[in-house]
Amino acid sequence: MANTRTTPSGTPTNVSQKHAQGGIGESTLRPDGTLKVTGEFAYSSDMWHEDMLWGQTLRSPVAHAEIAGIDISEALALPGVYSVLTYADLPAEMKNYGLEIQDTPVLANGRVRHHGEPVALVAADHPETARRAAAKIKVDYRELPVVTDEASALAPDAPLLHEGRDDHHAGHVPHPNIVHRQPIVRGNVEEARKRADVIVEGEYTFGMQDQAFLGPESGLAVPGEDGGVDLYVATQWLHSDLRQIAPVLGLPEEKVRMTLSGVGGAFGGREDISMQIHACLLALATNKPVKMVYNRFESFFGHVHRHPAKLYYEHGATKDGKLTHMKCRIVLDGGAYASASPAVVGNASSLSVGPYVVDDVDIEAVALYTNNPPCGAMRGFGAVQACFAYEAQMDRLAAKLGMDPVEFRQLNAMEQGTIMPTGQVVDSPAPVAELLRRVKARPLPPERQWETAGEGADVRALPGGLSNTTHGEGVVRGVGYAVGIKNVGFSEGFDDYSTARVRLEVIGGEAVAMVHTAMAEVGQGGVTVHAQIARTELGVTHVTIHPADTQVGSAGSTSASRQTYMTGGAVKNTCEAVREKVLEIGRRKNGSYHPAWATAELLLEGGKVVTDGGEVLADIAELLEGEEPIDLELEFRHRPTVAFDLVTGQGDGHVQYTFAAHRAVVEVDTELGLVKVVELACAQDVGKALNPLSVVGQIQGGTTQGLGVAVMEEIIVDPKTAKVRNPSFTDYLIPTILDTPSIPVDYLELADPNAPYGLRGLGEAPTLSSTPAVLAAIRAATGLELAKTPIRPEALTGTL
């Protein structure tokens, strides 16, 4: 029977005395939690070094232009300025970088391709001096026509954003302004269409979303005596940064030493390089430590965003509600540089059907090069845009058939054994119908609560808080549902592995473990889980988490919901090997006179070596006294994946799938166009809740980000100039605690037999389904089609 937990207020149930031990399955508090909420935690922007300089980046004020000349003389003449660098000053032959395609110049080389592209760097003894010096650099821009959408990107006379490109995707795309194209064809859509009693077509628009992490890009580069550099930085993947940084500095990787500093959120926006290379270049040029900290305005230009998308869908169904076919085309705007666009295309295409059984599909997904801001990784990674469209389609089909939208979804829901459009068999639990049943069965919050709460009630205490508060007569209740599917881990043949070093030794008469990985702790709670794993596998109480750096093997990126699976798996793997070393020592010392040492079921618990029957054989600390510390570093890999075929899209491209369902309850003032999201109930299969408190927090956080893109978040880019119009939190709105509804969580624990502890990556799935659930609820309240997100008041009042 499935292990399930319902948490109406976000507090895990069944808290027991055992939680004080802090092992797997327990709600262990985060070691960094108190420091963060009290403001004492040291983030990368808090770093300081004696005699350090401040770095500043000059960015392009136009989106597409030739650089006819750069004059840095006035900037260099300013007192306090130590260095000004342009493309001509870069030290190495390699002058570009990139996650997959090295198409991004460190500094603009004769041409800028997007608003805010870095053009020059300044190092000065004060941040204000650096800013003033950057403003004195004269750049002669000669503007070029801009490419802003598919029509302008693929027009016969379209400017080529990357002429002569020779990357590994260039040979299979029909136009040089297409970064990557992934078709998926299975069955016969034309024949299946003949069996359809109803056909629904839809065109959907998904806006550009910002990760909106609260800690801006920042770091400190310190030149080394060996000619290398030490970089302390907030990032999502130390070793990926290292791989991109070292070549453009002209240094071997061992001379670029990277240490993770405090990260104030990420959500995909720190997968790409921002200030890392620039700070190192200035530190090496001046032979002084250089600190760079973006302000909020610059941060909007300094990292990638979520791909805006146009999605064209067609679904067919029989009169009894069975899906016959699906045809779609997904166009993602990748902006000026590739970033993670190829992988986002793979995700969007392979997950475009959603968690449903459809045997006949014809799918195409592409990403474009344009002069819009570069787009890349963000929580949900291509699956978010697809879910928004296919869930709207499910509601439209259900309405056309006169069926309940939840029952229609359940009738077509995938399950374990379902074959994906890529031909991959889902080989672990897929409780899609059950998740929908759970959110639907939850009691609805009362309507018009301001009237039933009683006189003098504090509206802030009501679900939905002060979000677009309105008590008018035109307030209408709406309820909507959605469910989504997300992959976990890196896909399509990527060599996804993680490394962990574990050291067990006796300190002060007690066995103490140290866990060392390169995992970026960006707020997901990985440092907590790693300690829990070590306590569980090694039976020790005291576990130290070594700071993440590049002195240990790669842990991969903190993205794709993969870190608990992959680096958690590496910690588990290494701890198991350390445990075997402990038992080897025990057998050597004690095995001759105690036959229980010969059994294979010996465990480490509570600082003791015990049999599976609970008999204590030895104290771990006493056993290791006088022995050398046990110190092992091992890698962990998931099962292999393959790249999708470039013609048919077939292939076992993903490691694991995860599912979440939402029910949204909204109140819409149809006269004013105001929306209050009262409740966003979520049900999700997490495989195994390693830390129930963190599980609930991740689900609620992902749900809130999906809420943001549903009703408020969008980077506005001028379609004529490709300039960003709202690069600030004044004009780019994100949900605050006052906008956040009640988010009750109901999670299942259906173990994936292929994963460590049976767990599922869980952080991204709730971001998928919360957005279309909110849109479905608003549609239910208003009767409007609403095919674009985010929803703005003018779309609800007819003033658009």
pLDDT for 418-445, tens place per residue? 999 999 999 999 999 999 999 999 999 8
Output DSSP code: residue 105: E
- Tell me how far apart the alpha carbons of residues 56 and 363 are, in angstroms, rounded to a whole number: 45
- Tell me how far apart the alpha carbons of residues 411 and 408 are, in angstroms, rounded to a whole number: 5
Q: Reply yes or no on domain 150-209+305-383 having CATH 3.30.365.10.
A: yes
Q: What is the CATH number of domain 44-144+216-263+270-302?
A: 3.90.1170.50
**Cα-only R_g, the chain:** 27
The pLDDT assigned to 16 comes to: 29
The pLDDT assigned to 468 comes to: 57
Could you tell me which CATH class the domain 13-41+497-636 is placed in?
alpha beta
The pLDDT assigned to 463 comes to: 60
- Residue 778 identity: I
Cis check for the bond before 421: say yes or no (omega within 30 of 0): no
The pLDDT of residue 2 is above 60: no
80 and 90 Cβ atoms separated by less than 8 Å: no
What are the residue boundaries of the structural domains of the chain, listed by start? 13-41+497-636, 44-144+216-263+270-302, 150-209+305-383, 413-490+654-797
> Which residues fall within 8 angstroms of residue 446, CB to CB, at 6 or more apart?
452
491 and 343 Cβ atoms separated by less than 8 Å: yes
The pLDDT assigned to 260 comes to: 97
Structure tokens at 422: 């890529």
The pLDDT assigned to 15 comes to: 29
The pLDDT assigned to 462 comes to: 64
Lowest mean pLDDT among 356-370, 486-500, 608-622, 757-771: 608-622
Average pLDDT over residues 13-24: 49
pLDDT for 290-332, tens place per residue? 999 999 999 999 999 999 999 999 999 999 999 999 999 999 9
The pLDDT assigned to 450 comes to: 63
374 and 412 Cβ atoms separated by less than 8 Å: no
371 and 63 Cβ atoms separated by less than 8 Å: yes
Average pLDDT over residues 528-551: 96
pLDDT for 211-245, tens place per residue? 999 999 999 999 999 999 999 999 999 999 999 99
pLDDT for 100-148, tens place per residue? 999 999 999 999 999 999 999 999 999 999 999 999 999 999 999 999 9
The pLDDT assigned to 459 comes to: 66
The pLDDT assigned to 564 comes to: 97
| 413-490+654-797 fold | Aldehyde Oxidoreductase; domain 4 (3.30.365)
Q: How would residue 6 be classed by pLDDT, with cut points 50, 70 and 90?
A: very low
The pLDDT of residue 465 is above 70: no
> Fold identical between 13-41+497-636 and 44-144+216-263+270-302?
no
Distances from the Cα of 372 to the Cαs of 298, 381, 441, in angstroms?
Answer: 16, 18, 44
The pLDDT of residue 732 is above 80: yes
Q: How would residue 456 be classed by pLDDT, with cut points 50, 70 and 90?
A: low
Q: Provide the 10 A C-beta neighbour count for residue 490.
A: 21
Task: Decide: residue 666, CB within 10 A, 0-12 exposed, 13-18 middle, 19+ buried.
Answer: buried
The pLDDT assigned to 454 comes to: 64
The pLDDT of residue 207 is above 70: yes
pLDDT for 638-685, tens place per residue? 999 999 999 999 999 999 999 999 999 999 988 888 899 999 999 999
Q: How would residue 739 be classed by pLDDT, with cut points 50, 70 and 90?
A: confident
pLDDT for 245-280, tens place per residue? 999 999 999 999 999 999 999 999 999 999 999 999
pLDDT for 563-614, tens place per residue? 999 999 999 999 999 999 999 999 998 876 688 888 878 999 999 999 988 8
The pLDDT assigned to 600 comes to: 77
Structure tokens at 289: 């430590």
The pLDDT assigned to 590 comes to: 83
The pLDDT of residue 800 is above 70: no
Write a three-state SS string for 191-241: HHHHCCCEEEEEEEEECCCCCCCCCCCEEEEEECCCCCEEEEECCCCHHHH
334 and 179 Cβ atoms separated by less than 8 Å: yes
pLDDT for 147-160, tens place per residue? 999 999 999 999 99
Q: How would residue 689 be classed by pLDDT, with cut points 50, 70 and 90?
A: very high
The pLDDT assigned to 269 comes to: 97
The pLDDT assigned to 749 comes to: 97
Lowest mean pLDDT among 4-8, 178-182, 530-534: 4-8
The pLDDT assigned to 595 comes to: 84
The pLDDT of residue 21 is above 80: no
The pLDDT assigned to 19 comes to: 30
pLDDT for 612-640, tens place per residue? 888 999 999 999 999 999 999 999 999 99
Q: Sheet containing 745-749: give its strands across.
A: 3-7, 745-749, 674-685, 656-669, 475-488
Q: What is the mean pLDDT of the chain?
A: 93
